[in-house]
Structure 1
């Protein structure tokens, strides 16, 4: 079994819970509260800023020009294209995108970002990729699942969001395949003990994806600070 297959198998229970989350189901049904949408966009803006910095760390740890090109392209994509799903949510919420771009990190956003930063500071390329991969992987599956459920209809206000993440040619789908390939390539260099640590990073990011949706749905913020 390839290392990527092992991770995908281990991540299935968390992925199933993400797909069942009321925020994700609400996207499919075209019904998510404006407060949840606004909170999500503000936090995802924070998260993607961190994500690009972790890509920069991946460039430093890369072993080939192809890898450097991949991560460089993803920084550009995140800067210039991944704002579209944010704009889609803001439109439904009836707010300007600029109004949430100064939101401070909520607890789970902070935890998720620090989890990735830790991999960037202390790990090898395999650690960095494992900590980042659950984001594009879970989003591509969310998009595919919502398409299969028939949610991408003209009457659904989230149709554009769903279409962005769905399909075999979506950026997140293609990126997931490429990142899993990197993990398989790198895995052959490491002991079973090290690969268990990498697996732990991957699964923690999977769980933090669930918490990210949950945090936004219920607008869970700091209580005292």
Structure 2
């Protein structure tokens, strides 16, 4: 079994829980509270800003231009394409996207961002990719399942969201085969103990994906701290 296959097999139970989460089920059925949608967009904008910075760190730790190109392309994707699912949620919620771009990090967002930053600061390239892969992996799996179940109908207000993440799984363009291939290549350099550390990083990100949906659905904010709104990001 390839190491990437070992990772996704270990993460499958968490993915199953994500799929059953009421937020994801709300996307499937076309009904979600306005507060959950706006909370999600504000936090995901924050999270994706961190994602861009971690991609830049991956470029610094890459040894070939081919690897650098993978991460550079993904920076462009976040900046210029991944705004579309945000617009879908905002349109359904009836709010301007720009109004949600300066939210302070909620606790779950802060933890997830710091988890990725830690991989970038202290880890090797495999650590960074392992910490980042659960995000695209779970989203593609969710979208593909919803398409398979016929949830992307014209009557579903979240059809643009579903179609967006299902369509990024194009075999010629998909990020996931590149990330999994990079993980498998880099895994050959390490012993079992080190690979178990990488696996833990991957699984922590999987769990934080679940928590990201959960904090948005229930709008989990700081209980005792009142953080300031973020400055321009």
Q: Against the structure 1 CA distance between its residues 170 and 88, is the aligned structure 2 distance closer, same or farther, given a 3 Å change threshold? A: farther
Name the SS for the 1:74 alignment partner: helix
Q: Measure the CA separation in 2 of the matches of 1:170 and 1:55.
A: 21
Superposition pairs for residues 85-100 of structure 1, below 5 Å? 85-100=85-100
Say whether 1:109 aligns with 2:139: no
Aligned position for 1:43: 43
Q: Measure the CA separation in 2 of the matches of 1:44 and 1:157.
A: 19
**How far did 1:5 drift?**
0.7
Name the SS for the 1:166 alignment partner: helix
Aligned position for 1:27: 27
Say whether 1:210 aligns with 2:205: no
Q: Measure the CA separation in 2 of the matches of 1:213 and 1:73.
A: 26
Superposition pairs for residues 1-225 of structure 1, below 5 Å? 1-167=1-167, 169-170=169-170, 174-225=174-225
Would the aligned equivalents of 1:140 and 1:170 in 2 still touch at CA under 8 Å? Answer: no
Q: Measure the CA separation in 1 of the matches of 2:63 and 2:150.
A: 42
Q: Measure the CA separation in 2 of the matches of 1:181 and 1:175.
A: 10
Q: Against the structure 1 CA distance between its residues 45 and 168, is the aligned structure 2 distance closer, same or farther, given a 3 Å change threshold? A: closer
Name the SS for the 2:174 alignment partner: helix
Name the SS for the 1:224 alignment partner: coil
Would the aligned equivalents of 1:57 and 1:120 in 2 still touch at CA under 8 Å? Answer: yes
TM-score (normalised: structure 1)? 0.98
Runs of 4+ in 1 over 6 A off after TM superposition: none
Aligned residue pair count:
224
Would the aligned equivalents of 2:140 and 2:169 in 1 still touch at CA under 8 Å? Answer: no
Q: Measure the CA separation in 2 of the matches of 1:91 and 1:65.
A: 39
**How far did 1:27 drift?**
0.2
Aligned position for 2:231: none
Would the aligned equivalents of 1:108 and 1:212 in 2 still touch at CA under 8 Å? Answer: yes
Would the aligned equivalents of 2:58 and 2:128 in 1 still touch at CA under 8 Å? Answer: yes
Structure 1: 5+ residue runs without aligned partners? none
